Amino acid sequence: MNILITGAAGYIGSQLVQKLEGLIKAQDKPWYIIATDIRNQPHYATGPKTSYYKMDVRAAEFTDFMEEQNIDTVIHLATIVTPGKKSNREFEYSVDVLGTQNVLEACVAAGVNRIVVTSSGAAYGYHPDNPDWLVETDPLRGNEEFAYSHHKRLVENMLADYRITHPELEQTVFRIGTILGENVNNQITALFEKPVVLGIRGSESPFVFIWDQDVVECLIQAISSEATGIFNVAGDGAVTITDLSKMLQKKTMRLPAGVVKNGLFVLKRLNLTQYGEEQFNFLRYRPVLDNTRLKKQFGFTPSFTSKEVFENYIGKSWPGE
């Protein structure tokens, strides 16, 4: 089996390649990894079972590349999670949405058997009327004003169309909660590093967390699992702003919703924060993912609850060490 991984030099991609290569070696699996990313070289050493190629998911030659490599399975990780300061909505759309479209078209043209896609709980959207616990059959309402959320929704709509028009391409889609791990550093972890925990008055903004190694294990299991479909990926339970404050031993500053929204508008334009008013609902109404289907139908139980994941993260005592 030849396995192509997009975004292979990213946070999850790099861990996946290394873990997968170790598994192939240990179990003498007849698998080969084709790792791709826009970076010239990965920051890790690749072994004999991995070939690394600089490749943009938007590249016109992606189909030819897949055919040349005789790809059986694609793990599509390439996406923009934390935009750079020079990023813009058009560029993010070209990578997240048009890049995925290009990968899907290449999969069909090259006769790929299966694609595994990392989506996000953000695809459900950030809304006051979200169910207390979201399941995979709930509607996708990714907020248009928030690029990441909206793009995840558009990508999933595209995937749904492909399940109808190209059923021969098997799909496993993971809607992932907030990932924490030893080296994770993104917009959400930045919230936990502030002197106080920012809260919006009247909202507990619950988080669902998943340990990064559990995400990697899900991706590996999806390569050959008989179970395909859509699965929420999160630890059991949720952690509220009040819970976070207690575990961090910090005070919570609860501000009126209008103050937060207007403040984000001003601070972003002064380049004093990476958040803008478009992410206000992201801070206020967080999607809480039910992982029952992941455990019962996909057959994967996360190693830690959401609370335990956060305790691992702030304790700096990494499981397995």
d(CA 78, CA 280): 25
CATH code where residue 104 lies: 3.40.50.720
Give me the pLDDT at residue 20, please: 96
Residue 258 lies in a domain: no
Q: What are phi and psi of 102, to 5 degrees?
A: -65, -40
Residue 57 lies in a domain: yes
In one letter, which amino acid is 77?
A: L
Give me the pLDDT at residue 226, please: 96
Residue 239 lies in a domain: no
Query: Which residue range forms the structural domain that includes residue 25?
Result: 2-179+209-234+287-303
Give me the pLDDT at residue 200, please: 84
Residue 84 lies in a domain: yes
Give me the pLDDT at residue 315, please: 84
Query: Counting Cβ atoms within 10 Å, is residue 260 exposed (0-12), middle (13-18) or buried (19+)?
Result: buried
Residue 191 lies in a domain: no
Give me the pLDDT at residue 86, please: 75
Q: Give yes or no for a contact between 97 and 151, defined as CB atoms under 8 angstroms apart.
A: yes
Number of domains in the chain: 1
Give me the pLDDT at residue 185, please: 76
Give me the pLDDT at residue 275, please: 63
Give me the pLDDT at residue 96, please: 97
Give me the pLDDT at residue 321, please: 47
Give me the pLDDT at residue 318, please: 46
User: What number of other Cβ atoms are within 10 A of residue 29's Cβ?
Assistant: 14
Average pLDDT of adjacent 10-residue blocks, the chain of 321 residues: 96 95 94 96 89 96 96 97 80 96 98 98 95 97 93 98 98 97 79 82 90 97 97 97 91 78 62 63 87 98 96 70 47
Residue 78 lies in a domain: yes
Residue 148 lies in a domain: yes
Residue 103 lies in a domain: yes
